[in-house]
Every structure is written in structure tokens, then in C-alpha cells.
Structure 1
Amino acid sequence: MSVSSLESWVFNFPGFPVGVTDEPVDSSTHLVTHLLKEQFNISDLAKKFLTSSVMTVFIPTTYTLVFIISVPLNSIAIVIFVLRIQPKKPSAIYIFNLAVADLLFVLLLPFKMSYHFNSNNWVYGPVMCRVVISALYCNMYCSVLLMMCISVDRFLGVVYPINSLTWRNQQKALVVCSVTWLLAVAGVMPILLSEQVAYIRDLDITTCHDVLDINKLQGYYLYFFPIFSCLFFFLPLIITTFCYVRIIKALRNSKKFKVKNSKKTQAVFMAIVVLAVFIVCFAPTNVILLVHYLQFTHSHDDTSYAAYLISVCIGSVSCCLDPLIYYLGSCQYRKQVATVLSCQASPEFQSTQCENTKTTKLDTFKGGMAKQYNNLNFAKSENVSPL
């Protein structure tokens, strides 16, 4: 089966096929191996952008910084959630899965960094290209869905603290996260099963995901990807915005919340931060994607895809900002971070405060039911759930 016979479900620079070349792949082996590559001509604007410093310096440098910062932050968050946070509350389960999605995303960035630093020449083979691109999309949209789940969980906890108790439990949170991952994987399966590489003969490079047949771009992509974007971003955006607006409104209108004013301010700030990260990091990417496809109904425009690549790069910064969500959004996580830092700050604490933390676990368990009962009574009278 030739490359031209395979379907692709991504949008990119439009390529105009000019034929097939028989190019040697591995001259170091004794076996004669060849790969059929479909050749493409692209516009002068696309060539200029592919060879520009934006593509070969700015984008890979940004990915490098995101990788360096995000890997340790998300790794620490995962370790703390797995080893130190008990019990596993629904909010902790959602945030743990978000940390996993972010970590998987940044662990794949070295392939993108190498690709862009190497003048946008993919050297890892067509199969690896499909795997990397589909995994990047999967983790990105899984993060979007998980952030939506976090917003819904907090909305129920704040606006309906009593009525939502039957829904906000560990088992249902695990089911929701499993469904979220399955939806994200199913959504990118067309990318995984289609060809993503294209040989640009004028530049003598093999692109990954950036150039595809113009005929395919003006075909079913016009329907598939806008629908995909609406389901995996614009619908979650509407739900997330609604939830956080209602959370802020409920907190501001809670007249009896004066004693806990610091927690009220923190909760409002948290809602604003999460909503801002969601919109700033993901909205430009998906808005440009939608505009790009609408343009194809009349004519193709390389400028929109160039803007899309930059917005995806900037949006990856969310992997560094999400640890703020872990810290501000989980009371359990804040306590564990404080405990770890206090134990490591001074050796004396290891025999005093850290030991006291271990010995008081039984007391905490014994008083857990009474504390939960008091919290529910407080939430019912205040119509506000403690975060």
C-alpha cells in the first residue's frame, strides 16, 4: 500500500503531490532497504516558515524549557499523591490523572525538540511519527477533559455539598477518569492509523504531521476536525466556565462565610487561576484550528497553520502551570508538601514533627467521622463546601 492511499485526519500545511521517490533508508546494513515516500510541493510561505528561526529555534527551545521544568514538578506531584495522600479523595484522583497526562506529554517532547532542531526533518520513521503525534494529541485533550472534571467536582462540592455526596466518591472518580482516557485514545485513533510523514523535495526534508495532501485537507477534514475540536475543547470550555462562574458566585454570595474569609478568598482565586490557565493555554490552539478549517472551504491559508504551531508550543506551558492547580486545589497535597518541606528543612524535625505526624494518624482516623459530620453541618448551613 502506497503512502498516498492512506487516510490522514490532521490539518497542516497543504502539500501538492508530485509523485513517489524510491529513497535508500539504511545503508549501514547488508540488506537493501527502501521506503516509498510521496513527494510534495508546498508554497513559498510554508517553506519560509519551515526554515525560519521560529520553527528551528523558538519552538524547540520552548519545548526544552517546558521539559526541564515540568518533568520534576509533575513527577514529584505523582509520587506525593501515590505514597503520601490518604484517603484518595475524588479531587486527588482527578489531579493525579492530570499529572500523569502532563508527564506523558512532556516525556514525548524530546522527539519534537529533535525534529525542530534538525530543521524539521523527521528521522525516526513513519510509525514513530504516528505514535508520537497521536500520543501528544491524546494527552493534550485528556488534560482538557480532566480539567473539566475537576471543575465539575468542585462545582458540586461548593454549590451542592450535601446532595453531591453520593456522586463524589472514589469509585465514581475512577470510572470517570477511565472513561476520559478511553475517549481521548479513541479520538486520536485516526491519527495513529494514518500516515503523517511527507517528503519535501525542495528542502530535502521529511516532515512529520506538518504537510499533507491538499485534497485530503479539503475533504472530510472539513467536517471531522471541527467536530472533534468542539467535542474535546469547546464543550469542555463551556462546562468549565459555567462551573467556575457558579463557584465564584456561590462563594461571594455566602453571607455566613465571614469566619472562613481566608478560605473563601483562596477558593475564588483558585477558580480564577484554573479558568485562566484553561483559556489561555488551550483556547488559541483550538480557535485557530477551527478558523483554519473554515478557511479551507474557500481557499487554503498557510498563515493560520503557522499560528497554530506557535499556539500549541505556548500551550504546552500548561504542563508547568498545572502544579499550581495541584497545590492550590488539593488541601491534602498542600499538607503533604508542607510536611515534606518541614521535615527536610531541619534534622531536628525528623524526630519531632515528622514522628508526631506518624503517631497522630490513628487519632486522625478516630476523629474523622466526627470531623466529617461537623463539616457537613457547616456546609449545609453555609451552602459552601470547605475546599
Structure 2
Amino acid sequence: MTMLNKTLNDTSEAALCDLEESYKHILLPLAYSVVFVLGLLLNGAMLWLCCCHTKEWTCTTIYLVNLAVADLLYVFSLPLLIINYAMQDIWIFGELLCKLVRFLFYNNLYGSILLLTCISIHRFLGICYPIRSLAYKTRKLAIIGTAVSWILVLIQVLPSLIYARTGFINNRTVCYDLTSPDNFNNYYLYGMVLTVFGFLCPFLIILICYCLMIRSLIQTTGKTNITSSAAQAKSIRTILLVCGLFALCLAPFHITRAIYLYVRVHQKADCRLLHSATLLYKIWRPLVGLNSCFSPLLYFLSGQTNTVRLILELRLHKVDPFSRPTVKGK
């Protein structure tokens, strides 16, 4: 009887506004396939370089390796979504895997945001307080910062395991994107809290760090040596890439999701508005997965591969990079 009531609730909700979502069956498999291939190749290459060709990990390397692991866990869940949407939004993998797929998405999303916050704070200390921050820029503290970040992420996204569930619409099993229609009012509050504490607060911290970094870089322009200039270049690349990530992926997703949640709860009788909000949100949702491709770019563009590049070049010229140079006459 409970399952029958759930089915009727889902059907009545869908019938309230007849939303045309056939675009999902083409857009989503294509978008998730691109993210799967790029994320797998880039993060796999990054982990290979870190684990096989990097002798001493820096603080940034520790953060980026954690990012890559989270990205790969999310990427490995994408084939299930690709199959689901290619089959006209029919979920055949059971409720447990439905919950796991949704959990891994949010785990990757908010784990990435917090780890990017750690990287931004690390860069901020190095640029604005280069001497005083030496005691705080240690691998031990980086590991502690990473552990604290993952604990906070788990606290934030564990409720998604409760809200994520399967249901029936038009006699077919679906894995709900957020939660079932009968539970949407409860999810609305959770979704808004997650947006504020999972996205907005870290974003403000990153924004403050980068504003102070830019001011410091402007003040020291022309007064630095070669080493300091290299550090400044790395910081500028970090600023540009992280800002690009927020502008292209993270901010649009959270804005469209907040609008979608509000319309679904407070304006769901306005079918035209609901259709527009749904379209915007569901277009940006797969695109936010591109954040799993940004971590390796941050690794490659922030100067983390200089040692590896030198080793490969020396080996290409048949020189042992770890041999000691000989001195004539000795």
C-alpha cells in the first residue's frame, strides 16, 4: 500500500506540469561520457605522476592527490548514469547504487570546493606572509587540513544518502536527482543550507584570499627576484584557474539549483516557470562534473611537474638524473 501511494504521488506530481525532458536522453549521456573520458585520463595521469615520479610531496600535492581520488570515485560512477539516461531515464541498478551515485556526486563537488579552499589559503599565506607562514606550511598540517575537510564534507553530504531514492513514474523505475516529490519540502531546507555552507562560505573565503593576494602581488611588482617571480606566477595561475572553475561550473550550478528548488516548492503551479528552472538546472548539472577535470590542470599549471619534466628530458638524452656529477682531476 505504501508503494502504491508513493507511485500515485510521483505520478500526480509529474502530471501537475507536463515537463518535456527528452533533451536529457541526448545531452546527459554525451556530457557524462565526455567527463568520464577526460576525468579518467587526466586524474589517472596526475596520480601516476605523483605516485611514481614525485619523491617529495608538497602541501599542494597532498591536496591535489586527494582531489584526484575524489574525482576518480565520481568518474567511476558515471557509466551508471550514462546507461540510465541512454535508456530513456530508466534506472535498473537498484536503490543502493542510486544512493551511492548521488552521494559520490556531492562528495566530489563539496570535497573539491573545500580542498580548493585549502589550496587558496595555502597560496595566500605564501604570498602575503612568506616568512611568518613557514611554520604553518608543513605537510603534517596539510594532512590535518585534508582530514578536517573530508570530515566536514561527510557531515554535509551524508543526508543525501537518506534523500536519494528510487521511485516509479509512468510505470518505470527512476533514480531521483534530488529526492522524491513527496519529500521535496524537507529537502528544500537541506539544499539551501548545503548551498550556503558548502558553497557560499568557502567561496567567500577564497574570494577574500585572492583579493588580498592580488593586492600583495601588485604592491611587490618589480621588487622581486627570480624565485619570488616564479612563486607569483604559480599564484596567478592558481587564481585564474580556480576563478574560472567557479565561474564556469560551480557558481552557475548552485544558482540554478537554488532557483529550481525555490520554484519546485513555492511556484510549482507555474508550469512555464517550472519548465525554465528545470531546464537551466538540468543543463548545468552535468557541466558541474567538469570540475573533476580541473584538478589535474591545476597540478600541471602550478609548477608541480617541473621535476618530472626534468627527469623525462634527462632520460630522453640518456642521462641518469640521480647520478652524481664527476669533477675533473678527482
TM class by shorter chain equals 0.7 to 0.9
In structure 2, what is the equivalent of residue 323 of structure 1? Answer: 296
TM-score in terms of structure 2 length: 0.87
Q: Does structure 1 residue 271 correspond to structure 2 residue 239?
A: yes
In structure 2, the residue corresponding to 1:168 is in which secondary structure?
Answer: coil
Query: What does residue range 43-62 of structure 1 map to in structure 2 within 5 Å?
Result: 43=15, 47-49=19-21, 52=22, 54-62=23-31
User: Per the alignment, in what secondary structure is the counterpart of residue 242 of structure 2?
Assistant: helix
Distance in 2 separating the partners of 1:207 and 1:303: 22
User: Equivalent residue for 2:266?
Assistant: 298
The structure with the largest strand share of the pair is: 1
Between the aligned partners of 1:4 and 1:158, the Cα distance in structure 2 is 61
Q: Secondary structure at the match of 2:134?
A: coil
Match of 1:66 in 2: 35
* Structure 2 partner of 1:18: 8
CA distance in 2 between partners of 1:194 and 1:360 (Å)? 60
Residues 1:312 and 2:285 are matched in the alignment = yes
Higher helix proportion, which one? 2
Matching residue's letter, 1:163: R
Aligned alpha-carbon RMSD (Å): 2.6
Q: Is the 8 A contact 1:71 1:106 kept in 2?
A: yes
- CA-to-partner distance for each residue in 1:134-154, whole Å, 9 max, x for gaps? 111111110111111111110
Matched, 1:241 2:207: yes
1:231 is matched with which residue: 166, 178, 197? 197
Change (3 A) 1:183 1:270: closer
Deviation at 1:302, TM superposition (A): 4.2
Task: Pick closer, same or farther for the CA change 1:224–1:195 going to 2, 3 Å.
Answer: closer
CA distance in 2, matches of 1:85, 1:286: 36
Contact residue 105 and residue 140 of structure 1 kept, 8 A? no
* SS of residue paired to 2:266: coil
| Corresponding letter in the other structure for 2:38 | I
1:81 — aligned with what?
50
Contact 2:102 2:164 in 1 (8 A): no
Give the alignment partner of residue 281 of structure 1, picking from 236, 239, 249.
249
Give the letter aligned to residue 257 of structure 2. L
- Aligned partners of 2:253 and 2:285 also within 8 Å: yes
Gap change, CA 1:92 and 1:302, over 3 Å in 2: same
Distance change >3 Å, CA 69–CA 338, structure 1 → 2? farther
CA distance in 2, matches of 1:227, 1:68: 32
Amino acid at match of 2:216: A
User: Aligned residue for 2:166?
Assistant: 197
For 2:150 and 2:26, locate their aligned partners in 1 and report how far apart those are by CA, in whole Å: 33
Distance in 1, matches of 2:257 and 2:172, equals 25
Paired letter, 2:79: P
Task: Output the amino acid matched with 1:247.
Answer: M
Provide TM-score, normalisation by structure 1: 0.75
Shift of 1:82: 2.0
1:206 aligns with 2:150: no
After superposition, give the CA deviation of every residue in 1:2-31 in whole Å (9 maximum; x if it has no partner): 5699xxxxxxxxxx8516xxxxxxxxxxxx
Percent identity over the alignment is 24
* Cα pair distance change 1:78/1:257, threshold 3 Å: farther
Which of structures 1 and 2 has the bigger CA Rg?
Answer: 1
CA distance in 2, matches of 1:2, 1:358: 69
Query: Does structure 1 residue 165 correspond to structure 2 residue 134?
Result: yes
Q: Bigger CA drift: 306-315 or 331-340?
A: 331-340
Kept in 2, the 8 Å contact 1:17–1:41? The answer is: no
Aligned residue number for residue 109 of structure 1:
78
Q: Which runs of 5+ in 2 are unaligned?
A: 269-273, 326-330
Relative to structure 1, the CA distance from residue 277 to residue 210 in structure 2 (aligned partners, 3 Å threshold; closer, same or farther) is closer
Give the drift of 1:197. Answer: 0.9
Partner in structure 1 of residue 311 of structure 2: 339
Alignment gaps of 5+ in structure 1:
6-15, 20-37, 362-387
Instruction: Give yes or no for the alignment of 1:155 onto 2:124.
Output: yes
| Shift, 1:184, TM fit | 1.6
Query: Any conservation in 2 of the 1:244–1:272 contact (CA below 8 Å)?
Result: no
- Residues of 1 paired with 2:36 and 2:65: CA distance? 19
Residue identity in the other structure for 1:59: L
Pair 227,360 (structure 1): closer, same or farther in 2 beyond 3 Å: farther
The residue aligned with 1:217 is: 184
What secondary structure is seen at the aligned counterpart in 2 of 1:164?
A: helix
Query: What is residue 271 of structure 2 aligned with on the other side?
Result: none
What's the CA shift for 1:360?
Answer: 5.1
Offset, 1:85 = 1.9
